[in-house]
């Protein structure tokens, strides 16, 4: 060929059949070898084939499984069919291909590291623990829901459960057992509603980077001295409930800090909460709406205010008394009432200065409302400062003298 000679066509044609025959034999041998290897592979690893084809409940077969079925030989399809039949029949069936005494193949879900037995046992254990915990909570609720305080042993269990389940923010408040008892009483000694109330209570303090111990009279003195909100110890309704008193016309949202007002209101609310009598009977809220205008209102202020009054503190509001509301207050009511619960709306009463004496006697009404009680907030602030400083002769349940009246209005 190097010299330009052409190959002999007869020689080439005589070699072609030999080469083709050898190629066919090689392909046949390779095919037989593949089939034998596949058969050996199927016999040696039934578990792997079964796992790939075992159907996962609620999920379509994976692409890998579909591809293996599409490219399988007759022998592979037979093995796969047997595996599928086994998975349908359940683990009690014994395939003929399994030798006597060999362990049954374990059917696992694709993509899972643990076995079904482990997952089933883990799920069952978690379910059992959750059910036991729920039953324990229900038992505590049933034991606690007695109206009056439950037996000491049950109360102790409730307090321990509260401390175990309360949020991190609530734990930081360092609530005493007596504090937790107040929250339980407000929620009729039921565990879950009490936890929800404590969570809401703690969330506000966390938002303002405060604790009840840090909310002292010196912090809110400026707002209190403006006479916007107060809790005169000698102020009561004719039914004997203590009164939280507010003059909404003295607050102007456009020029005054809402946070300072909410802190002052929380301070007054805390003073009501710490009174054992109020813990049992609740209190009434009195608002003098004379001289109140649109300049004293904002949606943000109303939202924050009524959220706090309804959901944040563990004492009950018995009645909400509005005195001399302006004629257009129905427009304000349309704005604020959707954010109130039905039970809270039912507590609202609208009075005038001529009718409020049906609920509160003249001895317990402020002077500006035609009564005899002079609310001197400077004296109140000094009284609270003495109590918080631990000065001798000043007690929490001692009546504060406001002006000319020191009556408890009992």
Buried b (16+ CB within 10 A) or exposed e, 369-399: bebbbebbbeebbebbebbeeeeeebeeeee
State mean pLDDT over 245-256: 96
User: Residue 232: its pLDDT value, please?
Assistant: 87
Cβ neighbors of 82 (< 8 A, separation 6 or more) are 95, 97
Measuring CA to CA, which residue among 131, 387, 361, 373 is closest to residue 267?
387
Q: What share of the chain has pLDDT > 90, as a percent?
A: 50
Beta strands in 278-365 (DSSP E): 283-288, 317-323, 348-351
**Tokens describing residue 298:** 């904002």
pLDDT band at 94 (very low <50, low <70, confident <90, very high): very low
Provide the pLDDT for residue 311.
85
- Work out the pLDDT band at 257, boundaries 50, 70, 90: very high
Measure the CA–CA gap between 384 and 407, rounded to whole angstroms. 18
pLDDT at 221: 96
Across the chain, mean pLDDT equals 75
Question: Which pLDDT band holds residue 362 (cuts at 50, 70, 90)?
Answer: very high
Mean pLDDT over 387-399 rounds to: 69
CB 348 within 8 A of CB 310: no
If pLDDT is split at 50, 70 and 90, which confidence band does 35 have? confident
Radius of gyration of the chain from its Cα atoms, rounded to whole angstroms: 41
- With bands split at pLDDT 50, 70 and 90, how would you rate the model's confidence at 217? very high
pLDDT value of residue 339 = 86
**Per-residue model confidence (pLDDT) at position 30:** 64
- What span, in angstroms and rounded, lies between the C-alpha atoms of 30 and 35? 9
CA dihedral of 91, 92, 98, 103, whole degrees rounded to 10:
70
pLDDT score, position 62: 45
pTM of the model: 0.63
Nearest to 285 by CA among 300, 301, 272: 272
For 182-211, write each residue's pLDDT tens digit.
999 999 999 999 999 999 999 999 999 999
User: Among the listed ranges 89-93, 218-222, 368-372, which one has the minimum average pLDDT value?
Assistant: 89-93
Question: What confidence tier does 139 reach under pLDDT thresholds 50, 70, 90?
Answer: low
């Amino acid at each position: 060929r190097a010299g330009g000679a052409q190959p002999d066509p007869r020689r080439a044609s005589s070699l072609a059949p030999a080469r083709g025959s050898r190629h066919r034999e090689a392909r046949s041998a390779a095919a037989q070898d593949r089939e034998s290897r596949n058969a050996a592979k199927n016999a040696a690893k039934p578990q792997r084939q079964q796992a790939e084809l075992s159907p996962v409940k609620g999920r379509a077969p994976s692409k890998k499984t579909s591809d293996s079925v599409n490219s399988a030989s007759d022998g592979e399809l037979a093995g796969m069919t047997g595996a599928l039949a086994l998975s349908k029949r359940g683990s009690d069936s014994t395939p003929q291909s399994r030798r006597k005494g060999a362990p049954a193949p374990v059917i696992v879900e694709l993509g899972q590291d643990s076995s079904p037995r482990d997952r089933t046992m883990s799920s069952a254990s978690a379910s059992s623990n959750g059910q036991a915990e729920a039953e324990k909570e229900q038992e505590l609720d049933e034991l606690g829901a007695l109206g009056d305080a439950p037996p000491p042993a049950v109360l102790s269990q409730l307090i321990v459960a509260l401390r175990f389940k309360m949020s991190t923010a609530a734990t930081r408040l360092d609530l005493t057992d007596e504090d937790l008892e107040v929250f339980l009483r407000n929620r009729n000694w039921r565990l879950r509603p009490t936890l929800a109330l404590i969570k809401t209570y703690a969330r506000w303090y966390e938002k303002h980077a405060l604790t009840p111990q840090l909310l002292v009279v010196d912090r809110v003195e400026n707002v209190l001295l403006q006479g916007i909100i107060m809790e005169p110890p000698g102020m009561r309704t004719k039914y004997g409930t203590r009164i939280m008193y507010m003059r909404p016309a003295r607050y102007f949202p456009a020029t005054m800090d809402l946070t300072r007002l909410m802190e002052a209101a929380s301070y007054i609310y805390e003073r009501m909460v710490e009174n054992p009598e109020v813990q049992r009977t609740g209190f009434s809220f009195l608002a003098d709406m004379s001289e109140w205008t649109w300049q004293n209102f904002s949606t943000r202020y109303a939202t924050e205010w009524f959220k706090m009054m309804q959901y944040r503190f563990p004492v009950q509001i018995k009645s909400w008394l509005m005195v001399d509301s302006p004629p257009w207050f129905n427009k304000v009511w349309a704005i604020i009432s959707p954010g109130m619960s039905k039970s809270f709306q039912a507590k609202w009463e609208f009075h005038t200065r001529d009718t409020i004496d049906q609920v509160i006697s003249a001895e317990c009404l402020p002077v500006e409302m035609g009564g005899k009680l002079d609310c001197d907030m400077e004296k109140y602030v000094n009284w609270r400062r003495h109590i918080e400083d631990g000065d001798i002769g000043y007690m929490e349940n001692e009546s504060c003298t406001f002006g000319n009246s020191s009556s408890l209005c009992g």
